[in-house]
Amino acid sequence: MINTYSPLKQATITSIEKNRKPGGIEINGLDVYYGSNQILKGIDLVFPAGKVTAIIGPSGCGKTTLLRCLNRMSELVNGCKVKGQIRLDDEDILKMDPMLLRRRVGMVFQKPNPFPKSIRENILYGVKAIKIKCDHDMTVKSCLEKAALWDELKDRLHYNAFALSIGQQQRLCIARSLAVAPEVILLDEPASSLDPLSTMKLEASIMDMKGEYTQIIVTHNMGEALRVSDYVVFLFDGQLVEFGETKTIFNNPRRQETRDYITGKVY
Amino acid sequence: MKASPAMKFHRIFSEKTAETRSNLVKILTAGTSFIAFISVLVGCLTLAFNSIETYLIPFFYLLTISLAILFFSARWYHKTQWSILILAGVCLLSTIFVSSLPEYWVGLNIHGIIHRSFVSGLLMVVIAAPGLCYSIFYFMRATPRAFDISHFPLLLIPTVLALVGFTLIVVYIVSNGALHLNWSLLSTPFKSQYRIIETWQNGWPVFSNQEVKQVGMLNHVLGTFLLMGLTTLISLPIGVSVGVFVKQYAGAKLSVIINFSTTALRSISGIILLVTAMSVLKMPASGSVFYNFFHGYGYDINGTLQIGRSSFIIASVFISLLVIPLIARSTLEGLNSLPKEIYEGSLSVGASKEHTLLHIQLPWSLPNIITGLLLGCAEASGALTIIFLISGSGQYGVSPLNETTSLAYFIFECRYGRSFGDTLQNIMGSYQYTAALMLLIITLGLTTTALIIKRNLSKRYKGA
């Protein structure tokens, strides 16, 4: 495990950032079990590089499970079994070192979860944890700028992150995940605990990051999916129902279930 | 719309009655509080002098009536306070009970002759004190809102009693011990031994035995700190490791087993551990390297039992057996209180589990660990049986490798030690409260420091 870090130790964050390009994810025949309970059934999917893909579907259909498989956070749950193949730029992630994978595939959670440290320390946490050399001040500035927080927070970088508003905390979490130069960002219902204004700012920063990062967002909000995403995945009961461009899915979906879910008829 | 005379009258009347009611409640509650106050006073006097219980009976009746009135006045505000009615009922029953008692009766055992005035005085105080609280409370705020805080006085009484108990202990110890407390007492060790003195008389050396007596408790104070330090050194790394292991790495079955055994070890009394310790530690041969280190019990040439005089490290190992579960449990509580999202967030930026443990989880649970450690230190400073039986009287000074003593042992010796000869009891017997005060200062100082550290850390790590 230590050997996998050694190329990183020589590298600086700028060289990683220079060589970095958004990664595409390809899923083949993914089955996920919690104990004897099958959550995901034979998923075949492609998340295109540099695009925003929204995963929609009713509660309990396996959206979050699918998302957590992509950076192997699902392993943290006892009794979770993953079968199948997930590829990140032609590398099988199930055979990768999880720490290295999570550096490349960042994640933003449903509830804002800043660390109990200062804002600056929050952003530098990942860089320090994986021991990459970098210019700390520059990293803090560029990450906060990408998450549209720099103007609000530049005078109080030493404040405790818990003192921020919930919306700012969530954007700080995005900035934190950007600090380690990921290729993919997973967003698990990031706006579910935010007010409309914060949601708008969050969506704006997602739109800004389009092209630079591959983004996969789980959402219950159809409007958000429509505004933000390029592609939409509709899951139902652990099965992939429909996948396509956002306009196609929202204007004329091929399947009746998708139409019903989007228009809010059933479920 | 023009108000009809009937409506106007109704409004004025209802306003008037509300005012009248509130005034009436004030008068009633003032009366009740006066009666309750006098009752408490008379009850206390009865307890003090054991003789005036006949005057108590009318007060019991008065108190019953006034409590009943208080109950009905509370009902005017549509708030039924059953606790007042229960209090009044208890008061009535006690009246009947007290007046039907013989003046003396044989109590729980053959010697237990119980005086009626004692019982009636106690009952009076116990009933009248909550009644006093109730009535004063309602008098201060004779508004409907006051009745919302129900049962407040009943909860206040135990709190006040606990506070009074603590204050009494502190005042007693301070008033008895503070007189002797000075710097020279703390900076000189206790000594009682004979020394051969060489003097010159008429050109010839004369040898004489001189008794050296030194009043002081330096060794005892230093020994207490040393004991706490050693216990911390041994139990903190082990306790924290156990907590982390249970949280992070142990499976479900193993963690149940560890949880059970730490709880069980915690609840085992020190004396049981000590019995085990005494049977394991035996007196080594006199030429042994470990003579002072593992010096357990044994028999001397005359065949009398010698108490163990092991090194201080051995004593602190046995105290640590009691402290480790405490620290492990508090560490586990601290680790469990970290939200799962923060732990996952740390992993999601590529940090390893070890990095997360060192930089997120342990700093978060530091306040809990400090609380556990503080309790452990208090345990160590008060551990008497272990000091008494494993390590000894501190005749070699303060050192972790030899037997050393502590303040707890000092207090014990002052009270129950050997009384013949120049023993600690005879020389320093009057200093026992000073030693107790010193122990109190050490423990309270530790508590205060830990509370301050804990508050600052909580602010820093939990963003409170």
d(CA B399, CA A4): 49
Percent of chain B whose pLDDT exceeds 70: 81
Contacts of A71 in chain B (CB under 8 A): 348
Q: Residue A164 CB: number of other CB atoms within 10 A?
A: 22
CA A31 – CA A130 distance, rounded (Å): 31
Whether residues A130 and B342 touch (CB distance < 8 A) is answered with no
Does the pLDDT of residue B355 top 80, yes or no? yes
pLDDT band per the 50, 70, 90 thresholds, residue B41: confident
Q: What distance in Å separates the CA atoms of residue A19 and residue A185, rounded to the nearest whole number?
A: 17
Mean pLDDT (whole number) for B318-327: 90
Please give the average per-residue pLDDT across B87-91, as a whole number: 88
Whether residue B437 has pLDDT greater than 60: yes
CB contacts of A1 in chain B (<8 Å) are: 352
Considering only the beta carbons, identify the residue of B349, B461, B463 that sits closest to A177. B349
Contact (CB, 8 A) for A102 and A71: yes
CA–CA–CA angle B147, B150, B154 (5° rounding): 130
Neighbours of A14 (CB within 10 A): 15
Q: Stretch B439-461: mean pLDDT, rounded?
A: 84
**Residue B460: other Cβ atoms inside 10 A:** 16
Is residue B1 very low, low, confident or very high in pLDDT (cuts 50, 70, 90)?
Answer: low
Going by pLDDT thresholds of 50, 70 and 90, the confidence category of residue A2 is very low
pLDDT, averaged across chain B? 80
Please, which residues have CB within 8 angstroms of residue B127's CB and are 6 or more apart in sequence? B39, B63, B87, B90, B91, B94
Locus of tokens 């129900």: B150
Determine the pLDDT at residue B308. Answer: 66
Residue A233, min C-alpha distance to chain B (Å): 23
CB-based contacts of A44, cutoff 8 Å, min separation 6: A27, A28, A29, A30, A240
How far away is chain B from the Cα of A130, in angstroms, using its nearest Cα? 6
Strand order in the sheet with A105-108: A105-108, A184-188, A214-218, A52-56, A231-236, A239-245
Average pLDDT over residues B159-175: 87
Residue A256 C-alpha, separation from nearest chain B C-alpha, in angstroms: 37
Shortest Cα distance from B30 to chain A (angstroms)? 49
> Which candidate from B341, B344, B351 shows the least CB-CB separation from A130?
B351
* CB spacing of A162 vs B462 below 8 angstroms: yes
What is the β-pairing status of strands B298-299 and B204-214? unpaired
Half-sphere CA count of B430, side-chain side, radius 13 A: 7
What pLDDT is attached to residue A7? 47
CB contact under 8 A, B348 and A102: yes
- Top mean-pLDDT range of A247-261, B351-365, B449-463: B351-365
Using the predicted structure, report yes or no on whether residue A5 has a pLDDT greater than 50: no
Contact B390, B306 (CB under 8 A): no
Indicate the residue of A109, A126, A160 with minimum beta-carbon distance to B344. A109
Strand extents, DSSP E, chain A: 25-34, 37-47, 52-56, 80-88, 91-92, 105-108, 184-188, 214-218, 231-236, 239-245
Quote the DSSP letter at residue B2.
P
Which distant-in-sequence residues (6+ apart) come within 8 Å of B156 by Cβ? B133
Torsion of the alpha carbons at B94, B98, B101 and B104, rounded to the nearest 10 = 120
Q: With an 8 Å Cβ cutoff, are B344 and A126 in contact?
A: no
B298 interface with A at CB cutoff 8 Å: no
pLDDT of residue B203: 86
Q: What's the pLDDT at B24?
A: 73
A and B: number of Cβ contacts within 8 A: 78
Domain residue ranges of chain A, discontinuous segments joined by +:
18-115+163-263
Sequence-distant (6+) residues with CB within 8 A of A48 are A24, A214, A230, A231
Q: What are the pLDDT digits (tens) for A135-153?
A: 888 888 888 988 888 888 8
According to the model, what pLDDT value does residue A14 have?
67
Residue A115: closest C-alpha in chain B: B342
Q: Using the beta-carbon criterion (under 8 Å), do A99 and B346 form an inter-chain contact?
A: no
CB contacts of B359 in chain A (<8 Å) are 125, 129
Q: Of the ranges A197-201, B128-132, B195-199, B453-457, which is most confident?
A: A197-201
Mean pLDDT of B122-135: 84
CATH assignment of A18-115+163-263, among 3.10.20.30, 3.90.1150.10, 3.30.200.20, 3.40.50.300? 3.40.50.300
Substitution target from A70, A107, A113 for chain B, most B beta carbons within 10 A: A113
B210 - beta bridge partners?
B195
Q: B170-184 burial string, b = 16+ CB within 10 Å, else e?
A: eeebbeebeebbeee
Split at pLDDT 50, 70, 90, the class of B155 is: low
Nearest CA in chain A to B339: A113
- Is the pLDDT confidence value at B401 over 70? yes
B46 vs B356, residue with greater confidence? B356
What's phi and psi for B217, nearest 5 deg?
A: -140, 30
SS3 B303: coil
Q: Which is more confidently placed, B90 or B155? A: B90
Identify whether the C-beta of residue B77 lies closer than 8 Å to the C-beta of residue B144.
Answer: yes
pLDDT reported for residue B231:
93
Q: Between chains, do A106 and B355 touch, taking CB under 8 Å as contact?
A: no
Entry pTM = 0.72
What is this model's ipTM? 0.89
Please give the residue that has the higher pLDDT: either B90 or B278.
B90
Mean pLDDT, residues B380-392 taken together? 78
Cβ pair A132, A12 in contact under 8 A: yes
Cβ–Cβ gap B461/A116 under 8 Å: yes
Lowest mean pLDDT among A77-91, A111-125, B387-401: B387-401
> Is B301's Cβ below 8 Å from some Cβ in A?
no
- C-alpha dihedral (B115, B120, B125, B128), degrees to nearest 10: 180
C-alpha radius of gyration, chain B, whole number: 32
What's the confidence (pLDDT) of residue A172?
92
Q: Considering only CB atoms, which chain A residues are within 8 Å of B460?
A: 116, 160
CA distance A122 to A183: 20
Whether residue B13 has pLDDT greater than 70 = no
Residue A109 pLDDT > 80, yes or no? yes
Please say if the pLDDT value at position B116 is more than 50: yes
Q: Say which range, A170-184, B232-246, B276-290, has the weakest mean pLDDT.
A: B276-290
Nearest to B349 among A111, A126, A163 (CB): A126
pLDDT of A6: 44
Smallest Cβ–Cβ distance between A115 and the set B342, B350, B352 belongs to B342
Measured between beta carbons, the chain A residues lying within 8 angstroms of B363 are: 116
Q: Residue A231: pLDDT above 90? A: yes
Least confident of A216-225, B111-120, B401-410, B445-454: B111-120
A16, A74, A115, best to mutate vs chain B, most B CBs in 10 Å: A115
Residue-level pLDDT at B430 = 84
B298-322: pLDDT as tens digits: 676 777 766 667 788 888 888 898 8
Q: Do B349 and A106 count as a contact with CB atoms less than 8 A apart? A: yes
**Chain centre to alpha carbon of residue B312:** 26
In B204-243, the residues whose Cβ lies within 8 Å of chain A are none
Check whether B129 has a pLDDT greater than 70: yes
The alpha carbon of residue A183 and the mean position of all alpha carbons in its chain are separated, in whole angstroms, by: 10
Q: Could you give the CA distance from residue B10 to residue A256 in angstroms, rounded to a whole number?
A: 68
Closest by CA to B294, choosing from B306, B279, B276, B309, is: B309
Q: Do B349 and A113 touch (CB under 8 A)?
A: no
For B191-207, the pLDDT digits (tens) are 777 777 788 888 888 88
Q: Compute the 3-state secondary structure of chain B and give helix, strand, coil in percent, each to the nearest 5.
A: 70, 5, 25
Measure in Å the smallest separation between the Cα of B265 and chain A Cα atoms. Answer: 30
Quote the tokens at residue B258.
Answer: 């560890």
